[in-house]
């Protein structure tokens, strides 16, 4: 028996050529041995004896594997570069507002994405499936939640509501906004709705890396006011409001007048039938739970929006109650009528059927109670 020193296989027959690799039998080049039949592999690695065709096959597989790996890396690099280019293009495009049909991210479904669903997905928000607008400056601050941009567009801050002119915290909120945006560039971030019924842009304001809307709420200069399904920052806004309540920031400063005496015994916010035609079926009843009388002259009742009612001269007796109706009527005894004229006289209803907030404030504008009804 002998071995082929080329392919390493045993050969039973006496022959000069290996029946497996076809090579002439003998020692490999520059290998010398005096005992090739007994120790054909001694001092040599197995691959030294592989036949050439197997070596070539192995090298071919290695090359193919390397090519495939290079292809995968190249694709990943190209994709990342492409995404980065998209982001850069969007950020530098002064007219880039991503509306239906041109959101570039797969998470929003490409050309067929549903804008509402896109905004509800955190991943999409991170991938800028929102309005992207150029940095601008503020030319005028109208109040705490409305500004005018350097391009003359009016912006209504999303998710918040500040007090109106003449109310206790109005000037503080307006002045604070002026301080924060004066001589600075701001960034605008959109949400589901682009504009309100007055044509104002609905935006979150980012200044010095901070969300101005959230900051005003946290400082007690604004309350949370979510319109429609513009919910991008709702959790952060609600958290900020809780902080403001604990700190008794401006709009949350507690009244000492009849402290703890006035409550709500009944809140009927959904009138039967058409609210606009049956406004006096919208009403709220306040109860004095103490034995002392409470002077509520010039106290105000306000909803979550901007509807405000001011009480005339009135003393709410101890353990007494009064009812405030949304519609028209003549005040008598313990019955009062809001006589709200609505927006442009369209509807006199006050309270939202799906839930609203009652703010009761004393004659100094300090908070007596706030109550959310459903």
Catalytic annotation, residues: 156, 164, 200
Q: Would you state the structure tokens that stand for residue 269, as one six-digit string? A: 């916010």
Contacts of 155 (CB under 8 A, 6+ apart): 146, 147, 148, 149, 188, 200, 201, 202, 203, 205
Rg (CA), the chain: 39
In terms of phi and psi (left: phi > 0; alpha: psi -120 to 50; beta: otherwise), the region of 136 is: beta
Residue 369 sits at φ, ψ, to 5 deg, of -160, 155
Q: Give the closest residue to 133 by CA, choosing from 97, 167, 162.
A: 97
Distance between CA atoms of 306 and 364, rounded to whole angstroms? 18
Distance between CA atoms of 194 and 13, rounded to whole angstroms? 91
Q: Within 10 Å of residue 160's Cβ, how many Cβ atoms?
A: 26
Task: Please give the helix or strand (H or E) that residue 245 lies within, else none.
Answer: helix 234-247
Task: Please give the helix or strand (H or E) that residue 266 lies within, else none.
Answer: strand 262-268
The three-state secondary structure class of 107 is: helix
The three-state secondary structure class of 333 is: coil
- Judged on CB neighbours under 10 Å (0-12, 13-18, 19+), 361 is buried
Alpha-carbon distances, residue 220 vs 27, 173, 215, 353 (angstroms)? 94, 9, 9, 27
Q: Within 10 Å of residue 173's Cβ, how many Cβ atoms?
A: 24
């Amino acid at each position: 028996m002998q071995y082929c020193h080329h392919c390493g296989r045993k050969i039973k027959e006496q022959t000069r050529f290996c029946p497996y690799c076809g090579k002439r039998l003998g020692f490999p080049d520059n290998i010398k041995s005096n005992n090739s039949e007994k120790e054909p592999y001694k001092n040599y690695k197995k691959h030294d004896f592989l036949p050439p065709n197997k070596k070539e096959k192995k090298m071919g597989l290695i090359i193919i594997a390397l090519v495939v790996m290079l292809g995968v890396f190249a694709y990943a690099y190209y994709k990342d570069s492409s995404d980065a280019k998209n982001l850069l293009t969007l950020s530098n495009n002064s007219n880039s507002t991503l509306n239906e049909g041109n959101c570039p991210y797969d998470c929003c479904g490409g050309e067929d994405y549903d804008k509402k669903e896109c905004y509800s997905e955190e991943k999409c928000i991170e991938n800028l499936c929102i309005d992207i607008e150029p940095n601008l400056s503020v030319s005028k601050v109208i109040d705490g939640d409305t500004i005018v941009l350097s391009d003359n567009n009016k912006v209504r801050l999303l998710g918040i509501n500040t007090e109106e002119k003449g109310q206790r915290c109005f000037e503080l909120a307006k002045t604070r906004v002026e301080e924060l945006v004066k001589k600075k560039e701001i960034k605008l971030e959109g949400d589901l709705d682009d504009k309100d019924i007055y044509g104002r842009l609905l935006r979150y304001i980012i200044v010095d890396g901070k969300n101005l809307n959230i900051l005003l709420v946290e400082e007690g200069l604004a309350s949370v006011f979510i319109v429609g399904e513009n919910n991008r920052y709702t959790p952060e806004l609600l958290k900020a409001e809780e902080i403001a309540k604990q700190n008794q920031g401006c709009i949350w400063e507690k009244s000492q007048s009849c402290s703890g005496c006035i409550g709500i015994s009944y809140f009927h916010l959904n009138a039967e039938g058409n609210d606009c035609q049956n406004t006096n079926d919208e009403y709220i009843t306040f109860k004095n739970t103490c034995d002392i009388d409470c002077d509520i002259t010039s106290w105000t009742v306000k909803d979550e929006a901007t509807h405000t009612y001011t009480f005339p001269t009135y003393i709410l007796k101890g353990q007494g109650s009064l009812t405030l109706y949304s519609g028209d009527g003549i005040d008598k005894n313990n019955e009062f009528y809001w006589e709200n004229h609505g927006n442009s006289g369209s509807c006199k209803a006050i309270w939202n059927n799906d839930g609203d907030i009652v703010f009761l404030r004393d004659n100094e504008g300090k908070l007596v109670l706030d109550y959310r009804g459903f």
